[in-house]
Amino acid sequence: MNWINQPWPWYIAGPIIGLIVPTLLLIGNKTFGISSSLRHTCAACFPSNIKFFKYEWKKEVWNLFFVGGIALGGLLTMLLIPNTGNIEVHPDLANDLTKYGITDYSGLVPSQLFNWESLFSLRGIILIVAGGFLVGFGSRYAGGCTSGHAISGIANLQWPSLVATCCFMVGGIVMSNFILPVLLNL
């Protein structure tokens, strides 16, 4: 069990993730992505006359099982392999975060930022609610999420996926270096 509790090196995890793309293409001519599962769920659960949801969603039901497997895997991991220590944070990042009062790394996310009390603060509404909305909106506006574009789209040599991935990277750099420090001071 020790090997599964440790982070896997990039040279093992990367090829495993990378091999998902050709495997899906060879087995069923399917592309890898997560954000489209929300569209499939809405089309299945709320059939209406909305053009965006009028398509053969049953042909994409495999994607719903895939996302369900991710959720089930996360749940089983949480229940069967408990977190035995704090999340390791680089000392330079820990020093930077201490300036904003973030010191608790006992969970997957800092409890000073992500808790019920924070949710009802201005900072929490911006980080959790507005941030979640922007991620969801952005993934639909870009025609897919980071996993779909960066892993599958670039592997298929799709120009829009390269552009979207570059925009994701620039957005992440701007957010983490310029916008997040302002939000953490709220």
What is the structure's pLDDT at 8? 83
Tens of pLDDT along 129-164? 999 899 888 888 888 888 888 888 888 889 999 999
Q: Which tens digits make up the pLDDT trace of 88-143?
A: 889 999 999 999 989 988 877 888 888 888 889 898 899 889 998 998 888 888 88
Please report the beta strands in 19-159, taking only residues with DSSP state E, as ranges in sequence order.
none
With b for 16 or more beta-carbon neighbours within 10 A and e for fewer, the 112-138 pattern comes to ebebeebeeeeebeebbeebeeeeeeb
Domain ranges for the chain, please list them: 1-82, 113-186
CA angle centred on 99, ends 95 and 104, rounded to 5°: 70
Q: What was the pLDDT predicted at 28?
A: 84
Average pLDDT score over residue span 152-179: 91
Q: What is the pLDDT of residue 50?
A: 87
pTM of the model: 0.74
